[in-house]
Amino acid sequence: MSLAHLYSGKVRDIYDAGDGLLLMVASDRISAFDRVFAEPVPDKGRVLTAMTDFWSGELADVAPTHLVTADPDRFPPEAKSLEAIAGRAMLVRRAEMLPIECIVRGYLAGSAWKEYRTTGRMHGTPLPAGLSESERLPEPVFTPSTKATEGHDENISFDEAADLVGSEMATLARQVCLTAYERGAARALEHGIVVADTKFELGVIDGKLAICDEILTPDSSRFWPADAWRPGTAPPSFDKQPVRDWAESTGWDKSSEPPALPPEVTAATRQRYVEAYETISGRRLADWYGGEGASS
pLDDT in tens, the chain (296 residues): 689 999 998 889 999 999 999 999 999 999 988 899 999 999 999 999 999 999 999 999 999 999 999 999 999 999 999 989 999 999 999 999 999 999 999 999 988 999 999 999 998 889 999 999 999 999 999 999 998 766 677 889 999 999 999 999 999 999 999 999 999 999 999 999 999 999 999 999 999 999 999 999 999 999 999 999 999 999 998 888 899 899 999 999 999 999 999 999 999 999 999 999 999 999 999 999 999 877 64
φ, ψ for residue 120, nearest 5 deg: 75, 10
What contacts 132, CB < 8 A, 6 or more positions away? 108, 231, 232
What contacts 107, CB < 8 A, 6 or more positions away? 134, 135, 136, 137, 194, 196, 197, 222
**Are 125 and 154 a contacting pair, CB within 8 Å?**
no
HSE-CB at 241 with a 13 A cutoff on CA atoms is 14
**Are 79 and 72 a contacting pair, CB within 8 Å?**
yes
Distance CA 86, CA 69 (A): 12
CA proximity to 178, closest of 211, 129, 134: 211
Q: What are the domain boundaries of the chain?
A: 96-228
pLDDT (0 to 100) of residue 155? 87
Distance CA 149, CA 153 (A): 8
DSSP 223: E
CA proximity to 272, closest of 230, 220, 218: 218
What contacts 58, CB < 8 A, 6 or more positions away? 183, 184, 187
The pTM of the full predicted model, rounded to 2 decimals, is 0.94
Distance CA 251, CA 149 (A): 28
The CATH superfamily of 96-228 is ATP-grasp fold, B domain (3.30.470.20)
